[in-house]
Structures are given as C-alpha cells and as structure tokens.
Chain A
Amino acid sequence: MIVEILLAFFSAVFINNVVFVRYLGICPFCGVSKNVSSATGMSLAVLFVMAVSSAVTWILYHTVLIPLGIEWLQTIVFILVIATLVQLVELFVRKFAVSLYQSLGIYLPLITTNCAVLGISILAIREEYGFLKTILFAVSSAVGFMLALLGMAGIRQRIALTAGIPTPFRGVAITLVAAGIMAIAFYGFADIDSTIMSLRGH
C-alpha cells in the first residue's frame, strides 16, 4: 500500500511531470519563473487550488453529473468551479497574506486559466481514480509543477546574471529551449514505474 502511494507520488512528480511530460501549465511556467520567490508563491497557490478543485470537481462529477446523466457538461462545470475557487483564494490572500498578494499580482487570478488545474481535474476523472487517489494525484502533480517552476526560476536567475543570450531568444524563447533540455532530463525517469511494478509482479 505504502509502495503504491509512493510510486503514484513519484510517478506524478517525475515520470509524468505536469510540465515536461503532460505539457500543462506552460503559460505560468514561462511567466512566473523569473525568480525563485515568485515561483515559490505561485507553486504553493497552485498546489492549494489544484488539490481543492480536484476534490470538489470529483465530488461534483460523481454525486451530481453522473446521476443526472450530464457528464458531457463536465468541462463547463469544472471551469466554473475552478474560477469560483480562485476568486475565493484571491479574497483570502488579499486579506491574510498581503505580501504574497502583491508579489503574485495578476498571476493569482490567472490560475483560473492555468491549464494544469483544469487538466488534472479532468485527467483524474478520465483515469477513473477514486477520491483519495485523485487528491494524491493532484497534490503530487502540483509538487511536480513546483519542481519544474523552481528549477526554471533558479536557472533563469543564473542566466540573467551572465548575459550573452542572443536578443531574439530573450524572454520566453530561451525559457522554452531551456525547458526542452530539462525535458530530455526528465526522459530519464520514463518507465521506472513499470520496471518497479514488474519486479514486484502483479
């Protein structure tokens, strides 16, 4: 049981990393990775929203959408839930964590359009995960997102100090190329989970 949980966590963080393998959350990945402090704040906010929204959407899907036979409205229901949740988070942060609110700026409401948040919620449904597995999946994926974001932020902080990036590449372009190289590194994690599983035998 513990092994399964650890494997699922490891899988979502490294093997199927939200940014480098699933291609989700790229816009904030490029936008907020300029320095480590804003990257940390954003990752934590995303972690919270992802965990709560995946739980709420799961409950809604299984207790309302399926019984009423309107699973096909999943997209519209989920995004409205996420938008509402982000509004609530924004109100909360504005009142209780003012410095965080100021450092995140416009990126806080933009969590609504973070495709990772909606994407993970939909994936959990498509993969037919149970409630607890969904929450584990969401939290692990958010940790993977944090890993990607912090990694990129650290790199960008370094690059900013040592100039020499050709002008056309400055900004998003070089971030993407760097991400591509990081993606190759993540290739190294592929298939580790199936190897471990086959060793255990099932």
Chain B
Amino acid sequence: MNDSAKMVLIMVAVTFFCSALLGGVRQMTKETIQLQRIRYVQGPAIRAVLSGAENDPVADREEMTIGKEPVVVFREKKGGEVTAVALETSGSGYGGELSVVTGFDAATGACTGIAIATSKETPGIGTRVNGTDFTDRFKSLPLSTNAALKKDGGTIDGISGATVSSRAVCGAVAKAQFLYGSINDKVQAETK
C-alpha cells in the first residue's frame, strides 16, 4: 500500500475511533448533563421563586407539551400538596436572550414571583432587572392581567434607563402567563 493511501487510512481509522469514543461518552452522559444544566443554570431562579417548597422542584419536574411547545413545569409541594408551579420562558433583551422563571399560585393562578435565570444584559444597566426591587413588582399579578410595562399599557414600572431589558422580562412573564393559562385547570384539579 503506498504512502498516501496509508496516511489517509490511518486518519480515517483515528477519526472513526475518536467518533466512536465521543459518541459513547455522549450517550452515557446526555441525560445527566441535561439534569445538571437545569439544576445549576435555572436552579437558583427556580429555588428563589418556589421558596416554600418542601420537595425538590427540579426532580419533580414534568415535561409537558403546551400548544406545540415542549415546556418544563416545576411543582412546589407543601405537605404533599401542589401549592405553586413554575415555568421558564424567555424574552429578547438588549444583549440577547433573557430567561425568566415565573411562579404561579396553584389555586388562583396569580404570580407568586419571578426570578431571572440567565441574561446577557449590560452590567450595571440591564442587569438591574435581576434585582428584587424589579422582580418583586410582579408579585400577586393576576393571571388575567397581562404582564406589561406601564408605558405599554400595563401595570409594571420599568427600570429607568433599562427599558429594553424591562420590556423583555415583561414579555417573558406574559408568555409564561399564556402558557400557564392552558394548564391552569389541570393544576387546580391537582390541588383539590
């Protein structure tokens, strides 16, 4: 076998071996990685929103299909009963995608609070929407009232100088409200 053919054969063999190894490790770790990602990237936000949980909302998560979208639903349980549900949605912020976890009271559907999971907003400006003085403004928002900034006809005060980021958060929460509206009855049935 001449030199060039040998070279190519070796390269192909090495590539094949490496791909097999990679594929194998990938298969073994795929699910664990997904769980870890939820735990550590969205985890802090979920824990902040479902603060009264006696269970592990991440372990108790359920993947539902609402409309045509797959949505992961996190349940908070107290004394064995479902007290709140959290959904993660995203909005378009100034620097990119902004992901928000919104909590809903299981009995009334009102918002129990929100937390920002990931954001690419400008540090010091857009990141001010991460703080509780902004996120607290969403507490007790009824399911029937769409989350929107006051200047957009809604009830939420935006952060001055960070309108785009504030609007993105409202958009994400409104989306969550819409998705929750579809499963509201199902959740209420669980609380009884």
Binding site for B on A (CB under 8 A): 72-73, 76, 127-128, 191, 194, 197-198, 201-202
Identify the closest chain A residue to B123 (Cβ): A194
Question: How many A-B contacts are there with CB distance less than 8 Å?
Answer: 29
Q: Is A191 a contact of B163 with CB atoms below 8 Å?
A: no
CA A197 to CA B121, docked complex, whole Å: 12
Query: Which of these, A72, A76, A198, A201, contacts B124 with CB under 8 Å?
Result: A198
Chain A residues positioned under 8 Å from B96 (CB to CB): 127-128
Chain B residues positioned under 8 Å from A194 (CB to CB): 122-125
Binding site for A on B (CB under 8 A): 18, 22, 26, 94, 96-97, 120, 122-126, 161-164
CA A127 to CA B97, docked complex, whole Å: 10
Chain B residues positioned under 8 Å from A201 (CB to CB): 161, 163
Chain A residues positioned under 8 Å from B120 (CB to CB): 127-128
Chain B residues positioned under 8 Å from A128 (CB to CB): 96-97, 120
Chain A residues positioned under 8 Å from B124 (CB to CB): 191, 194, 198
Closest beta carbon of chain A to B120's beta carbon, Å = 7
Closest beta carbon of chain A to B125's beta carbon, Å = 5
Closest beta carbon of chain A to B31's beta carbon, Å = 14
Closest beta carbon of chain B to A76's beta carbon, Å = 8
Identify the closest chain A residue to B160 (Cβ): A201
CA A181 to CA B123, docked complex, whole Å: 26
| A73-B122 CB under 8 A given contacts A201-B161, A202-B163 | no
Q: Is B22 a contact of A202 with CB atoms below 8 Å?
A: no
20 extra interface residue pairs, beta carbon distance < 8 Å, beyond A198-B125, A202-B125? A73-B22, A76-B18, A76-B22, A127-B96, A128-B96, A128-B120, A194-B122, A194-B123, A194-B124, A194-B125, A197-B122, A197-B125, A198-B161, A201-B161, A201-B163, A202-B94, A202-B122, A202-B126, A202-B161, A202-B163
CA A202 to CA B94, docked complex, whole Å: 8
Identify the closest chain A residue to B162 (Cβ): A202
CA A191 to CA B122, docked complex, whole Å: 10
